[in-house]
């Protein structure tokens, strides 16, 4: 009896742990966010339950043609936002109607999972088993939803591994360290407007900034393929923090840049904000300093290839937010 009790306890512990690690998630057309320290997966060779749109069963639709083709296909599984999502499609052979549900719920076994790089010519050039991926993972913080021919799909939620957790903590520390570096460099120096030794530290006009908003009533600008022009008919607003620079003017211009890094430019005697896209590719730089002579800020935004430049005039700050000291 004692031995049976021990076996029962071990079995109970096993299934309890298994249940904690593996959980079924239903993803619908409304985006859901993968929880912290979790990931959602779909794997080829494992039964996956889906609910298709009504039109998928109607003859003459593209969804129906793909759903009944050889091999069969159904899409889309999306990661990201509605406006900019990365989409996946399931390729499978057979499907089975799930009893005691509606007319649109099926169990299917994916052969592979393909993304935007998939082409129907792949069926001619490769074996079916060699097309696409056998597993896709959605990581913590990512938004996941379905669309097109799908109304819902089941995914498996699992805990990330200890190695993945360690890597995640490493990345989080790197992000935190980079944030601290940016904050420590988020100041605006006084431009001495004369020669000083390169090793002389700049005097600071605005220090410990968190956010600053500038206005400019005119700008000298150069656009790609053209010379310089002067605009004094519109008002400009520039909002700057450690994450991004946004620029708007009264004529409808709206630009947003990611702040990749911040450093002091000894040659220009300005604080340089390296700007670009979210993938850390620097495309532009913003130079900022304060002039004691004019009692105004100097702001120059230019592309790295010098094809584009904005020299803002009569720059003032209308709002400043400081770091918590």
Average of per-residue pLDDT across 315-325: 91
Residue 190 is given by DSSP the state: B
Q: Count of H helices and E strands in the chain?
A: 4, 22
Question: Are residues 266 and 216 part of one domain?
Answer: yes
What is the model's pLDDT at position 16?
Answer: 44
How far apart are the C-alpha atoms of 236 and 160, rounded to whole Å?
A: 47
Question: Are residues 138 and 41 part of one domain?
Answer: yes
The residue range of the domain holding 297 is 185-322
Average of per-residue pLDDT across 299-310: 94
Question: Are residues 200 and 242 part of one domain?
Answer: yes
Average of per-residue pLDDT across 36-61: 94
Question: Are residues 208 and 122 part of one domain?
Answer: no
Question: Are residues 153 and 34 part of one domain?
Answer: yes
What is the model's pLDDT at position 111?
Answer: 95
In a domain, residue 28? The reply is yes
Q: Where is 14: in which H helix or E strand?
A: helix 2-21
What is the model's pLDDT at position 17?
Answer: 44
How far apart are the C-alpha atoms of 176 and 128, rounded to whole Å?
A: 44
Average of per-residue pLDDT across 90-99: 93
In a domain, residue 174? The reply is no
Question: Are residues 118 and 74 part of one domain?
Answer: yes
What is the model's pLDDT at position 21?
Answer: 59
Phi, psi torsion values for 248, nearest 5 degrees: -135, 150
Domain count, the chain: 2
Q: Is the pLDDT of residue 1 over 90?
A: no
Q: Is the pLDDT of residue 262 over 90?
A: yes
In a domain, residue 273? The reply is yes
What is the model's pLDDT at position 3?
Answer: 55
In a domain, residue 17? The reply is no
Give Cβ neighbours of residue 302 (< 8 Å, ≥ 6 apart).
284, 285, 287, 308, 309, 310
Q: Is the pLDDT of residue 239 over 80?
A: yes
In a domain, residue 165? The reply is no
In a domain, residue 225? The reply is yes
- Number of neighbours of residue 13 by Cβ within 10 angstroms: 10
Q: Dump pLDDT digits (tens) for 129-150.
A: 899 999 999 999 999 999 999 9
CA distances from 124 to 33, 119, 120, 130, 325 (A): 37, 10, 8, 12, 64
Q: Dump pLDDT digits (tens) for 184-228.
A: 999 999 999 888 887 888 999 999 999 999 999 999 998 887 888
Q: Is the pLDDT of residue 25 over 90?
A: yes
What is the model's pLDDT at position 66?
Answer: 95
pLDDT band with cut points at 50, 70 and 90 for residue 37:
very high
Question: Partners of 155 in the beta sheet?
Answer: 25
Share of the chain above pLDDT 90, in %: 78
Question: Are residues 216 and 100 part of one domain?
Answer: no
In a domain, residue 203? The reply is yes
Question: Are residues 258 and 208 part of one domain?
Answer: yes
Find out whether 110 and 91 touch, Cβ atoms under 8 Å: yes
Q: Is the pLDDT of residue 12 over 70?
A: no
Find out whether 191 and 200 touch, Cβ atoms under 8 Å: no
- Give the chain's end-to-end CA distance (angstroms, integer): 66
Question: Partners of 105 in the beta sheet?
Answer: 51
Question: Are residues 145 and 237 part of one domain?
Answer: no
Q: Is the pLDDT of residue 105 over 70?
A: yes
What is the model's pLDDT at position 101?
Answer: 93
Question: Are residues 141 and 35 part of one domain?
Answer: yes
How confident is the prediction for the chain on average, in pLDDT?
Answer: 90
């Amino acid at each position: 009896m004692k031995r049976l009790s021990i076996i029962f306890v071990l079995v109970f512990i096993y299934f309890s742990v298994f249940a904690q690690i593996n959980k079924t998630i239903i993803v619908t057309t409304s985006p859901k966010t993968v929880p912290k320290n979790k990931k959602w997966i779909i794997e080829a060779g494992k039964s996956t339950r889906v609910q298709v749109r009504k039109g998928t069963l109607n003859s003459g639709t593209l969804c129906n043609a793909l759903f009944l083709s050889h091999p069969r296909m159904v899409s889309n599984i999306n990661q990201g936002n509605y406006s900019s999502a990365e989409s996946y499609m399931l390729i499978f052979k057979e499907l089975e109607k799930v009893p005691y549900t509606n007319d649109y719920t099926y169990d299917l076994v994916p052969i592979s999972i393909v993304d935007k790089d998939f082409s129907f010519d792949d069926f001619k050039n490769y074996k079916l088993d060699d097309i696409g991926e056998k597993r896709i993972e959605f990581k913590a913080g990512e938004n996941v939803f379905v669309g097109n021919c799908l109304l819902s799909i089941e995914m498996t939620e699992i805990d990330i591994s200890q190695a993945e957790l360690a890597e995640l903590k490493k990345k989080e520390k790197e992000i935190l360290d980079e944030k601290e570096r940016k904050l420590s460099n988020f100041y605006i120096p006084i431009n001495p407007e004369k020669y000083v030794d390169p090793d002389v530290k700049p005097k600071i006009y605005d220090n410990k900034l968190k956010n600053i908003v500038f206005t400019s009533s005119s700008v000298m600008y150069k656009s790609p393929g053209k010379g310089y022009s002067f605009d004094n008919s519109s008002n400009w607003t520039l909002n700057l923090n450690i994450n991004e620079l946004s620029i708007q003017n009264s004529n409808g211009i709206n630009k947003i840049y990611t702040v990749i890094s911040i450093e002091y430019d000894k040659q220009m005697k300005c604080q340089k904000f390296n700007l670009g896209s979210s993938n850390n590719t620097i495309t532009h730089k913003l130079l900022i300093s304060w002039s004691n002579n004019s009692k105004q800020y100097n702001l120059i935004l230019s592309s790295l290839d010098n094809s584009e430049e904005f020299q803002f005039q009569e720059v003032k700050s209308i709002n400043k937010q400081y770091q918590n000291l």
